[in-house]
Amino acid sequence: GKVYDVTWGRHFYGPGAGYHLFAGRDSSRALATGCLTDKSHWTHDLRGLDENQLAIIDSWDRFWSHNNQYFYVGKLIYDPIDPNTEPPKDC
């Protein structure tokens, strides 16, 4: 749920750009699964992901936290995930 200022990379994160779906929301699941067009994956819900998928998220977290062109500005506060619901289906 970390939020970074991506102004420097607006050509990557701006409207119509390749990483636009990651701007303004937590799409950790989509990043890990590669399900970029399935909106049910545009979520912070990581239930059911395997070790390799979680490692993808960890590697991006390291990238952001060590990159001097994108600045940490805060964190998202999430509504709790209902444990009685199913996680998003694989795409």
pLDDT in tens, 39-85: 999 999 999 999 999 999 999 999 988 999 999 999 999 989 999 99
Q: With contact defined as beta carbons under 8 Å apart, do 22 and 16 qualify?
A: no
Question: What is the model's pLDDT at position 57?
Answer: 95
Q: Which helix (H) or strand (E) holds 13?
A: helix 10-13
Whether residue 19 is predicted with pLDDT greater than 90 in this model: the reply is no
Q: With contact defined as beta carbons under 8 Å apart, do 21 and 36 qualify?
A: yes
Question: What is the model's pLDDT at position 81?
Answer: 94
Domains and CATH numbers, the chain: 2-75 (3.10.120.10)
Tokens 């990557």 — which residue? 12
pTM for the full predicted model: 0.84
Question: What is the model's pLDDT at position 54?
Answer: 98
Residue of 22 and 38 predicted with greater confidence: 38
Radius of gyration in angstroms for the set of CA atoms belonging to the chain, rounded to a whole number: 13
Section 35-42 average pLDDT: 93
Question: What is the model's pLDDT at position 24?
Answer: 85
